[in-house]
């Protein structure tokens, strides 16, 4: 017999309670809990441009992120290091001048070297300084070899009063071992970079004509005319406060305008104003706008340094009377001529840029000068003896200097230099000079790869990034105008570190991409190799030849943004919005 079930309101109530108990998040009486609050996205607001950056942000450009080809990669399940990024807390817009380099006159004609041209085009430092270094104070941009102006002595007086051949540089050459000025211009044009010139201030001191200052200023002004607006940034002299520069000491018996034997900061400032007047007038004739920098001493003078150095800022700044458009500093951050450890090298990069900026701004204020942009137009390290300068650690050092120059708001930073001498590894050159055993000329050193990936994936605004205490991870964050965020992580320790990234004021996270750089097992803590996403060089030094087309590693952010940063290595990671 078919039995019909009767409807029971009590049973239905029990079922209803059970349903809500299982399916809903609520309290004990069945009330449904509210949805989690969505993050309120605070808009990013650009701060006022720092006075120490100023004109170097005039050409700032927004960046759009283009996702690279990638390989799906697993991420750590957990991390002990937490990095918190606030996309709304903008520290500064990022000037392209942060990523500069120094060229020199002895590094071949450059445009005749296809390997170099390919690498410098990919690197795109934006600013390449020339003729650079102390040679600038013996450089005649419009002269041919052996055809110096009549008022230029064949021998110059060094700091000890000894007459020496300064090794004059010439702008009009056809040699295969050095660049002409037009070679340099062609290199810039073909690689899509801009220049920075250091004009010959020393000539104003050692010239034997009736008015050497006017002659030197006229030479510089004629260069501005020849340039015709191609170059915005100009420096008067190199490290003019120092006794190693030509012009520090002159033969007064040959001088005709009553200059003292030794240079002072005050005299330099007087001469600077003559140069600046002539050069600005020349620029106006061509319809160009140029900016001219004056040399400052970057730190407290030491006991061994000469009086010119010790009194430079105190006598130069008041006499200058704010006529410079920017100030110039140089620094080789590690202890001089020491076989420094990796820890010493990396700590110098982390601490010295801040110390230098603090010192320079105090000096400017103390001597009544107006704050102006600061250009660090030469930087590197003094460490030697263990091939530090050509190592993976040098690459980490380079990125830390560039990142800290942004944190401390330098307007420009330019690494010394693109090509130098092997010197058994005590070589500042970014590329091998061909004398390195087993390494061909123009092979990029590890520093090249670190700076290449750092610059390529950094955004256009630096934003705040904090790391939980007690870690060896250094984090630098940025955002793109197109909406993405980048975080560069440097691991200064000798062991890998798993890192998680938390983003505030960013919104939902989508896919993230990263490149991982680290040294190999050669040469102790100063490996001459760099591995990028596990790929290294074919030879004994350098990095992977396919760096410009390498696939990124990638994962989705659904389970968090975590990555392993290798020992003494770097990860640059870019996160898309969903």
Which among 271, 295, 324 is the end of a domain?
Answer: 324
Strand 326-332 versus strand 291-295 pairing type: parallel
Distance of CA 193 to the CA centre of its chain: 15
DSSP letter at 321?
Answer: T
Residue 416 pLDDT more than 70?
yes
Beta-carbon count within 10 A of 112 CB: 13
**Strand segments (E) across 168-269:** 169-170, 194-199, 233-236
Cα–Cα nearest to 490, from 378, 568, 375: 568
List phi, psi (to 5°) of 26. Answer: -155, -170
Are 316 and 210 contained in the same domain? yes
User: Which structural domain range is residue 131 located in?
Assistant: 95-324
Are 112 and 142 contained in the same domain? yes
Tell me, yes or no, whether 149 lies in a domain.
Answer: yes
Residue 89: which pLDDT band, with cuts at 50, 70 and 90? Answer: very high
Question: How confident is the model over 384-393, as pLDDT tens digits?
Answer: 999 999 999 9
Question: How confident is the model over 63-80, as pLDDT tens digits?
Answer: 999 999 999 999 999 999
Residue 572 pLDDT more than 70?
yes
Lookup: tokens for 410: 């330098």
- Mean pLDDT of the residues in the chain: 94
Residue 8 pLDDT more than 90?
no
Tell me, yes or no, whether 374 lies in a domain.
Answer: no
Question: How confident is the model over 523-539, as pLDDT tens digits?
Answer: 999 999 999 999 999 99
Half-sphere exposure (Cβ direction) of 495: Cα atoms closer than 13 Å: 3
* Residues 352/354/360/366 CA torsion (nearest 10 deg): -130
Rg (CA), the chain: 29
Are 207 and 304 contained in the same domain? yes
- Torsion sign across C-alpha atoms 100, 105, 111, 113: negative
Tell me, yes or no, whether 431 lies in a domain.
Answer: no
pLDDT of residue 170: 98
Tell me, yes or no, whether 167 lies in a domain.
Answer: yes
DSSP labels for 274-292? HHHHHHHHHHHHTT---EE
Are 85 and 167 contained in the same domain? no
Interval 159-169 mean pLDDT? 98
Residues 201 and 214: their CA atoms lie apart, in Å, by 11
Percent over 90 (pLDDT), the chain: 92
Interval 465-494 mean pLDDT? 96
Q: What is the maximum alpha-carbon separation in the chain?
A: 135
Are 189 and 305 contained in the same domain? yes
Are 169 and 276 contained in the same domain? yes
CATH number of 215's domain: 3.20.20.80
pLDDT of residue 161: 98
CATH number of 563's domain: 2.60.40.1180
Angle at 250 between CA 246 and CA 254, to 5 degrees: 130
Are 88 and 99 contained in the same domain? no
Which among 277, 303, 324 is the end of a domain?
Answer: 324
Are 126 and 217 contained in the same domain? yes
Sequence-separated (6 or more) residues with CB below 8 Å from residue 53: 92, 95, 373, 409, 410, 411
Please give the tally of structural domains in the chain.
Answer: 2
Helices (H), 24-128: 114-123
Question: How confident is the model over 114-132, as pLDDT tens digits?
Answer: 999 999 999 999 999 999 8
Q: What is the pTM of this model?
A: 0.93
Residue 21: which pLDDT band, with cuts at 50, 70 and 90? Answer: very low
pLDDT of residue 37: 54
pLDDT of residue 28: 38
Are 178 and 270 contained in the same domain? yes
pLDDT of residue 30: 43
Are 82 and 138 contained in the same domain? no
Residues 414 and 437: their CA atoms lie apart, in Å, by 28
Residue 320 pLDDT more than 90?
yes
Are 471 and 484 contained in the same domain? yes
Are 99 and 116 contained in the same domain? yes
Lookup: tokens for 521: 């097992």
Sequence-separated (6 or more) residues with CB below 8 Å from residue 314: 265, 367
Q: Which residues pair with 101 in a beta bridge?
A: 128, 415
Interval 176-192 mean pLDDT? 98
Which among 282, 304, 324 is the end of a domain?
Answer: 324
Tell me, yes or no, whether 452 lies in a domain.
Answer: no
Residue 187 pLDDT more than 60?
yes
Tell me, yes or no, whether 232 lies in a domain.
Answer: yes
Tell me, yes or no, whether 449 lies in a domain.
Answer: no
Tell me, yes or no, whether 399 lies in a domain.
Answer: no
Interval 242-269 mean pLDDT? 98
């Amino acid at each position: 017999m078919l039995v019909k079930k009767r409807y029971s309101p009590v049973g239905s109530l029990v079922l209803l309670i059970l349903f809500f108990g299982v399916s809903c998040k609520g309290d004990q009486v069945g009330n449904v809990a509210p949805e989690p609050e969505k993050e309120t996205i605070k808009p990013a607001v650009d701060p006022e441009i720092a006075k120490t950056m100023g004109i170097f942000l005039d050409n700032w450009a927004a960046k759009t992120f283009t996702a690279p080809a990638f390989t799906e990669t697993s991420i750590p399940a957990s991390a002990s290091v937490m990095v918190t990024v606030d996309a709304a807390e903008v520290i500064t817009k990022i000037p392209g001048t942060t990523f500069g380099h120094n060229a020199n006159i002895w590094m071949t004609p450059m445009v005749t070297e296809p390997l170099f041209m390919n690498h410098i085009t990919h690197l795109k430092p934006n600013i390449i300084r020339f003729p650079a270094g102390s040679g600038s104070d013996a450089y005649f941009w419009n002269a041919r070899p052996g055809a110096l102006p009549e008022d230029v002595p064949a021998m110059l007086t060094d700091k000890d009063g000894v007459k020496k051949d300064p090794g004059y540089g010439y702008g009009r050459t056809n040699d295969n071992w050095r660049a002409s000025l037009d070679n340099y211009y062609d290199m810039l044009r073909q690689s899509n970079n801009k220049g920075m010139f250091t004009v010959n201030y020393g000539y104003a001191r050692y010239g034997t004509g009736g008015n050497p200052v006017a002659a030197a200023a006229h030479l510089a002004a004629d260069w501005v005319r020849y340039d015709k607006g191609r170059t915005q940034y100009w420096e008067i002299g190199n490290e003019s406060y120092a006794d190693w520069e030509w012009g520090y000491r002159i033969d007064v018996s040959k001088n005709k305008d009553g200059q003292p034997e030794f240079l002072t900061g005050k005299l330099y400032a007087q001469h600077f104003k003559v140069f600046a007047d002539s050069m600005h007038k020349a620029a106006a004739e061509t319809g160009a706008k140029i900016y001219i920098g004056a040399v400052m001493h970057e730190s407290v003078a030491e006991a061994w340094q000469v009086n010119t150095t010790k009194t430079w800022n105190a006598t130069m700044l008041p006499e200058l009377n704010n006529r410079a458009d920017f100030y110039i500093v140089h620094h080789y951050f590690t202890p001089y001529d020491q076989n420094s450890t990796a820890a010493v090298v990396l700590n110098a990069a982390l601490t010295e840029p801040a110390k230098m900026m603090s010192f320079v701004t105090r000096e400017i204020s103390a001597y009544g000068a107006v704050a102006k942009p600061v250009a660090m137009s030469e930087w590197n390290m003094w460490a030697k003896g263990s091939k530090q300068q050509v190592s993976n650690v040098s690459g980490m050092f380079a990125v830390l200097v560039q990142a800290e120059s942004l944190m401390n708001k330098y307007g420009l930073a330019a690494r010394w230099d693109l090509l130098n001498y092997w010197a058994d590894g005590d070589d500042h050159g970014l590329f091998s000079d061909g004398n390195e055993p087993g390494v061909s000329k123009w092979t990029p050193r590890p520093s090249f790869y670190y700076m290449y990936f750092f610059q390529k994936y950094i955004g256009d605004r630096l934003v705040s990034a904090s790391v939980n205490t007690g870690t060896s991870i250094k984090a630098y964050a940025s955002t793109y105008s197109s909406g993405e965020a980048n975080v560069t992580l440097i691991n200064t320790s000798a062991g890998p570190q798993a890192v998680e990234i938390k983003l505030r004021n960013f919104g939902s996270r989508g896919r993230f991409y990263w490149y991982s750089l680290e040294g190999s097992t050669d040469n102790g803590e100063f490996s001459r190799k760099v591995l990028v996403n596990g790929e290294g060089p074919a030879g004994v030094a350098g990095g992977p030849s396919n760096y410009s087309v390498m696939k990124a590693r990638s994962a989705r952010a659904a389970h968090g943004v975590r990555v392993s940063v290798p020992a003494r290595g770097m990860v640059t990671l870019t996160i898309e919005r969903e």
